[in-house]
Amino acid sequence: MPPTRPFSLDHASLLDELAATDNLLIIQDLDGVCMGLVGDPLTRRLERRYLDAARQLDGHFFVLTNGEHIGSRGVNGIVEALFETPDRAGEQGRYLPGLAAGGVQWQDRFGSVSHPGVTDAELAFLEAFPAQAEDFLDALLSRPPYDLPADVRRDLIAAAVLDNLASPTLNLNVFYRHWRETPARYRALQIAVADFMRERLEAASLAGLDDAFFIHYAPNAGRDAQGNERLRESVDDDNDGGNAGTTDFQLMLRGAVKEVGVLVILNRYYHRHTGHYPLGETFNAREAPRDHAALLQLAREHFDPALMPRIVGVGDTVTSFVQPGDPQAERQRGGSDRGFLTLVQQLGDAFDSGNRVLYVDSSGGEVRRAGVDIERLSRHAEDPDIDVWPALEGISDADDPLTLDVIFPGGHTQYIDFFCTLTARWASTTP
């Protein structure tokens, strides 16, 4: 069914609504939402006022990201850079609490990290991935059609291989920029990397870790009939804001999908406010169902509707497109935030809790993706007869089951302004 509510740019009304909500739970993505999208994760920056605001929402705010808290590319290092000494962040409880690595890496605000449901053998297999990826890229890029000099290969590979502990990643943004004038080489690399990732899954099976991992493509083209994410290939059409296609290739632990993380966070939220874990104290992403219907049913069976919070899901990676040059092709919907935002919407409908889905336009960053046509969106707000959907081309469509309730076309800086204002008002009125 098409969305029944129009997309809104009315941040003031949303602010009034949420500031008056006692039982509030914000579940938020990170990259592109509270910090700009950049080609090199090591250059990411957070604002101190954002951390201060998040601290005021203690127990009512959690992150849900495919990135990681820890490691050389983790968000904790970005947090620590805002303090005189790294240990001050932990002493003051300023780390961002919640789930990373798609839902298998838990952290509290003091920086205590755990990996519920993950085995030592699985972590060891993941630990070997970065060196394997470096060797693969070095050998590939030394041959035709690439023939890159050794020093160029070294710098590109160093930027592309992310040694995350629980979700090692190949980030091809640096290659997309390097071959901007010869996109065919970037496209060929995408295919080669996808093949390499599939080989890692085969190696896991041979090591007795069958079905332990899956490949996460970001952004992606939705899922195939088997439930596997589909690669979104790059296209040359300059009018297609997402023409880089899939840039991040992550080896993820099975079960590490954001929609499952919503229930993990809810389980901990209920315990924090009631002293009881509705899904059990050890419930984790690895043992949860993998489809939306089962997740929704699990929530209905175990969460007390009278205590269900109003959940605000915030993300920036949602896609909807038809492959350029093939107007008869089936529309493909994906994006790494689509799943968890959809579950937030469904939980709001099922529990009548007034959940809201917020979309932050991150197209102004260094990573090429579709953006919001703010002029057309504003005209639609004044005249509903104006077709709104061209304003969201590449992001949503008229038949999209996911409704992006409120849009922040100004990107992460606009959202941070809103978040800090909301937090100050909420904290001043909530016991």
As a three-state string, the secondary structure of 156-219 is: HHHHHEECCCCCCEEECHHHHHHCCCCHHHHHHHHHHHHHHHHHHHHHHHHCCCCCCEEEEEEC
Closest CA to 391 of 380, 405, 402: 380
- Bridge partner list, 213: 253
Q: Cα angle at 248 between 230 and 175, to 5 degrees?
A: 115
Per-residue pLDDT of the chain (431 residues; tens, 9 = 90+): 344 456 899 999 999 999 999 999 999 999 999 999 987 888 999 999 999 999 999 999 999 999 999 998 899 999 999 999 989 999 999 999 999 999 999 999 999 999 999 999 999 999 999 999 999 999 999 999 999 999 999 999 999 999 999 999 999 999 999 998 999 999 999 999 999 999 999 999 999 999 999 999 988 888 888 888 999 888 765 444 447 889 999 999 998 889 999 999 999 999 999 999 999 999 999 999 988 999 999 999 999 999 999 999 999 999 998 876 666 678 889 999 999 999 999 999 999 999 999 999 999 988 878 899 999 888 887 888 888 899 999 999 999 999 999 999 999 999 999 999 999 999 998 76
Report the C-alpha gap between 412 and 33 in whole angstroms.
Answer: 5
Provide DSSP, 264-333.
HHHHHHHHHHHS--TT-TT--GGGS-SSHHHHHHHHHHHS-GGG--EEEEEES--EEE--TT-TTSPPEE
pTM of the predicted protein model: 0.89
- The pLDDT assigned to 239 comes to 43
Q: Give the H/E segment covering residue 73.
A: none
- The pLDDT assigned to 6 comes to 61
Q: Cα angle at 336 between 97 and 363, to 5 degrees?
A: 95
Report the C-alpha gap between 309 and 269 in whole angstroms.
Answer: 9
Helix, strand or coil, per DSSP, at residue 85:
coil
Q: Give the H/E segment covering residue 406.
A: strand 406-408
Provide DSSP, 131-152.
HHHHHHHHHHHTSTTT---HHH
- Secondary-structure breakdown of the chain: helix, strand, coil percentages, each rounded to the nearest 5: 40, 15, 45
Q: Do residues 153 and 242 lie in contact, with contact meaning Cβ atoms separated by under 8 Å?
A: no
The token pair at 135 is 């060797």
- The pLDDT assigned to 323 comes to 72
Residue with tokens 């990290």: 113
Q: Is 22 exposed, middle or buried (0-12, 13-18, 19+ CB in 10 A)?
A: exposed
Mean pLDDT of the chain: 92
CB-side neighbour CA atoms (13 Å) of 387: 6
pLDDT digits (tens, 9 = 90+) for 95-127: 999 999 999 999 999 999 999 999 999 999 999
Q: Whats the size of the chain, residue-wise?
A: 431
- The pLDDT assigned to 243 comes to 73
